Amino acid sequence: MIYTILSIFTMLIINLIHTYLLAEKKYAAHVVILVLVGFTILLFTPVFWIGIVEGTTIRSILLGLLYIIPLYYLYNVSFKKIVIIMIYCWTYTLGINTISLGFAGLFANENTLVMIAFYLQTGLIILTAPLVFKYTLGKFKIILNNLNNYAIDLLAVLAFFVFVAITVVKFYFDVYNYAYIVLTIMLGAIAFTSYHLFFTITESSMKLQAANKRANIDTLTGINNRYSLLNEIEARIDNNLKFSILFMDLDKLKSVNDNQSHEVGDKYLIKFANCLKSALKSDGDVYRFAGDEFICLLPNDVKDTDIQNIKDNINILMNKEFDFKGVSVGKASYPENGQTLEEIINHADKSMYEDKHARKHEINI
């Protein structure tokens, strides 16, 4: 019986360490350890008293699953994810335990089976745990944190059925039969292949999302780019949604580049993009249209007083770090100032140049 107890507690410790590596932490490590040690004492003390662990029975597995109660409250993850994590971790140790029993059954009798299986289990854990933990942190964690809800449900179903299948082999097949080992290894291979397939799909999806982001984001300022703007305007026109744009052109950016360097000019552009987002707040979206041209896309009509307030806010924010040269702003609204993408942008561009000339005239006077 001592080897059965040692086997169960070895599996339990590996499972809890494995879970700690996977789940998002809510409390310090010593808190987690104290709670789990206390729960283990409360759970297993009456178990030993009534003699339920005369062998590694299916009741031992059910007892292990009760750890979902403290784990759910100790870690900052959803109930669905903690179930997936538990089944994933438990499948590894149960698979190792089952394979160990299978190999022990090849050359051990009933009196020495559990002892030899324990030593084999210990050896296999020492050999495989570093590799499994590395896979867990490098790949399975990526799967867990990046799948959508539908894929998470599929992963939960897969993990559950593999776990149940290994459990059936362990408790309902003859340990002294070669089929016991073969089926366990096959199930382990199916589990690994399936998890790796999930990782491949997740990795491909992440790469696609990153590529889409790069296609829609301006690399210098980090805001949306021209391509993103044109797609958004086309979509709004197709759905006949009213909107306005503010076409902005930075004044005298060339003088900043020529007199202070292009590196300073780049910082000037980045600062302006951030100031524009702050000045606009959550009223619209900001896009870099070209080198020194920016466009704000707003869901409603914009009054001249609103434009002046935005310009005043930008002036205040920019002058904290640079000698701000000013910005010219033109406005256009759909459908009042155009029916197509080109008409809207051309109208705003023309309005911006009128503002620029008017400001130059005021300075000359």
Instruction: Give pLDDT tens digits for 285-343.
Output: 999 998 899 999 998 888 888 888 999 999 999 999 888 888 999 999 999 998 999 99
pLDDT tens for residues 74-97?
999 889 889 999 999 999 999 999
Give 57's pLDDT tier (boundaries 50, 70, 90). Answer: low
Could you list the beta-strand ranges (E) of the chain.
224-225, 243-250, 285-288, 293-298, 327-334
* pLDDT band for position 361 (cuts 50, 70, 90): low
Pairing of the two strands 293-298 and 243-250: antiparallel
Q: Which one is predicted more confidently, 347 or 170?
A: 347
Q: Which of 283, 99, 66, 78 is nearest to 182 (CA)?
A: 99
**What local confidence, expressed as pLDDT, does residue 51 receive?**
55
CATH class entry, domain 224-364: alpha beta
Q: What is the pLDDT of residue 53?
A: 47
pLDDT score of 32 more than 50: yes
Every domain of the chain with CATH number 3.30.70.270 lies at 224-364
126 burial type by CB count under 10 A (0-12 exposed, 13-18 middle, 19+ buried): exposed
List pLDDT tens digits, range 127-183. 999 999 999 998 898 888 888 888 888 888 888 898 889 888 888 888 888 888 899
Cα atoms in the 13 Å half-sphere on the side-chain side of 264: 13
pLDDT of 48 reads: 64
Check: CB of residue 291 under 8 Å from CB of residue 221. no
Q: What is the percentage of the chain residues whose pLDDT exceeds 70? A: 94
CA 60 to CA 30: how far, in whole Å? Answer: 26
More confident residue, 41 or 213: 41
- Residue 49: pLDDT band with limits 50, 70, 90: low
Per-residue pLDDT reduced to its tens digit, 238-275: 999 999 999 999 988 888 888 888 899 899 999 999 99
pLDDT of residue 123: 95
- Residues pairing with 245 in the sheet: 297, 332
15 pLDDT band (50/70/90 cuts)?
A: very high
Q: What whole-number percentage of the chain has pLDDT above 90?
A: 45
Q: Distances from the Cα of 197 to the Cαs of 14, 114, 206, 207, 348, in angstroms?
A: 25, 35, 14, 15, 50
Return the higher-pLDDT residue of 359 and 265: 265
Distance separating alpha carbons of residues 153 and 147, to the nearest angstrom: 9
pLDDT at 347: 94
